[in-house]
Amino acid sequence: MTEIEFVLNGKNVTIDVDPTKRLLDVLREDFGLTGVKEGCGEGECGACSVLVNHEIVSSCLMPVGNAMGKDIVTIDGFSKTERYRVIHGAYEDEGAVQCGFCIPGMVIATESLLNKNPDPTEDEIKDALSGNLCRCTGYNMIVSAVLRAAERGKGLW
């Protein structure tokens, strides 16, 4: 066990934990942040996406030891922001959500993209979401939702 310190959804946290434990498990079990989902558990679906220093990371692949000193935001924390409100509204209006399991990851991927590139093209959106699978929607509505969020949120990113 080792003490690992990081910032989680804006608060400094310290946890005594096995550093090889997956960040995903630490977030869900130790911190009760169940907005972070486990789909495949091997890096292929993006359901477990979180922001690490404001960039998307698959938390099922990251040992918590590598989170030392990082700034980590999960959907649970991100959902309290104005940016989230805009993304949420755009997904809703475009009909981009069906069962919802992939959506926390999709929203994190959207934020990671818009934070770097507030005015993305359709191709850039597809690249940015390429690690996130959705079994329900067929993706078109999700791409439209990101375009709409970028348009409505001008100035926010």
Partner 1 sequence: MVKSFIPGTYEEALELLDKNEMILMAGGTDLMVKKRNWAGLSPLFDKDVLFISELRELKYIRKSGGFIHIGAMTTLEDILVHRETPEILRKAVLLMASPGIRHIATLGGNIGNASPAGDSLPVLYILDAKIVIDGKGTERMVPIEEFILGPGKVYLESREMIKEIVINDVRFDMIHYEKIGGRKSDAISKISFAGGISYKKGRIDEFRCAFGAVAPTVVRSRKLEASVNGLGAEEIKKSYAELIRPIDDQRSTAVYRKKVCMNILDEFLDKAGEYK
Ligand X SMILES: Cc1cc2nc3c(=O)[nH]c(=O)nc-3n(C[C@H](O)[C@H](O)[C@H](O)COP(=O)(O)OP(=O)(O)OC[C@H]3O[C@@H](n4cnc5c(N)ncnc54)[C@H](O)[C@@H]3O)c2cc1C
Q: Which residues bind ligand FES (CB under 6 A)?
A: 38-41, 43-48, 58, 60, 97-102, 134-137
Give the sheet arrangement for strand 55-58, strand by strand. Answer: 11-17, 2-8, 71-73, 49-52, 55-58
User: Shortest gap between Cβ of 53 and ligand FES (angstroms)?
Assistant: 18
User: Which partner in ligand FES, partner 1, ligand X, none is near 144 (CB below 5 to 8 A by kind)?
Assistant: none
Beta carbon nearer to partner 1, 2 or 121: 2
User: Shortest gap between Cβ of 85 and partner 1 (angstroms)?
Assistant: 23
Residues 6+ apart with CB under 8 A from 54: 71, 73, 112, 115
Number of C-beta neighbours around residue 101 at 10 A: 17
Binding residues (CB under 8 A) for partner 1: these are 2, 18-22, 25, 29, 38, 41-44, 46, 49, 52, 55-58, 60-63, 65-66, 68-69, 109, 112, 127-128, 130-132
Residue 36 sits at the vertex; the CA angle it makes with 32 and 40, to the nearest 5 degrees, is 125
